[in-house]
Chains A and B, each alone.
Chain A
Amino acid sequence: MMEFSTWDILRNLLLAARWTVLLSLVSFIGGGLVGLLILFMRIGKLKAGRIFARGYIELFQGTPLLMQLFLAFFGLGLFGINVPAWLAAGLALILWTASFLAEIWRGCVEAVAKGQWEASSSLGMGYVQQMRWVILPQALKVAVPPTVGFSVQVVKGTALTSIIGFVELSKAGTMVTNATFLPFTVYGFVALIYFALCWPLSKSSQILERKLNVAHRNH
Chain B
Amino acid sequence: MSLIAITEVKKRFGDNEVLKGINIDVDPGEVIAIIGKSGSGKSTLLRCINGLESIDDGSILVAGAQLLPDELHLKALRLKVGMIFQQFNLFPHLSAGRNVMLSQMVVKKTPKAEAEVMARKMLDRVGLLHKFDAYPDQLSGGQQQRVAIARALAMQPIALLCDEITSALDPELVNEVLAVVKELAAEGMTLMMVTHEMRFARDVCSRVVFMHQGRVHEIGPPGEVFGNPKTPELKQFLGVH
Contacts and interface: CB of A to CB of B under 8 A. Distances in A.
A138 interface: yes
A15 to B, nearest CB: 44
A124 B137 contact: no
B155 A123 contact: yes
Contacts of A137: 93
Q: In terms of DSSP, what is the predominant structure of the interface of chain A? A: helix
Interface in A16-60: none
Interface in A160-215: 215
Contacts of B152: 122-123
Given A118-B52, A118-B89, A119-B148, 14 more contacts: A113-B89, A119-B90, A121-B74, A122-B52, A123-B78, A123-B102, A129-B107, A133-B102, A215-B137, A216-B138, A217-B137, A218-B93, A218-B137, A219-B93
Contacts of A116: 89, 91
Contacts of A125: 103, 106-107
A123 B107 contact: yes
B104 to A, nearest CB: 9
Contacts of A129: 106-107
28 contacts: A113-B87, A115-B85, A115-B87, A115-B89, A118-B52, A118-B83, A118-B89, A119-B91, A121-B50, A121-B52, A122-B52, A122-B78, A122-B82, A123-B82, A123-B103, A123-B107, A123-B151, A123-B155, A124-B75, A124-B79, A124-B107, A125-B103, A134-B102, A138-B91, A215-B137, A218-B135, A218-B136, A218-B137
Contacts of B90: 119
B92 interface: yes
Interface of B: 50-52, 71, 74-75, 78-79, 82-83, 85, 87, 89-93, 102-103, 106-108, 135-138, 148, 151-152, 155
Nearest to A132: B106
Given A134-B91, A138-B93, A219-B93, A122 B83 contact: yes
Interface residues of A, number: 24
Contacts of B51: 121
A141 B93 CA distance: 10
B103 A126 contact: no
A219 B151 contact: no
A124 B92 contact: no
B91 A121 contact: no
A120 interface: yes
Nearest to A141: B93
A218 B52 CA distance: 26
Interface in A114-167: 115-116, 118-127, 129, 133-134, 137-138, 141
Interface string A70-93: 000000000000000000000000
A122 B107 contact: no
A145 B83 CA distance: 34
A122 B159 CA distance: 12
A218 B134 CA distance: 12
B43 to A, nearest CB: 12
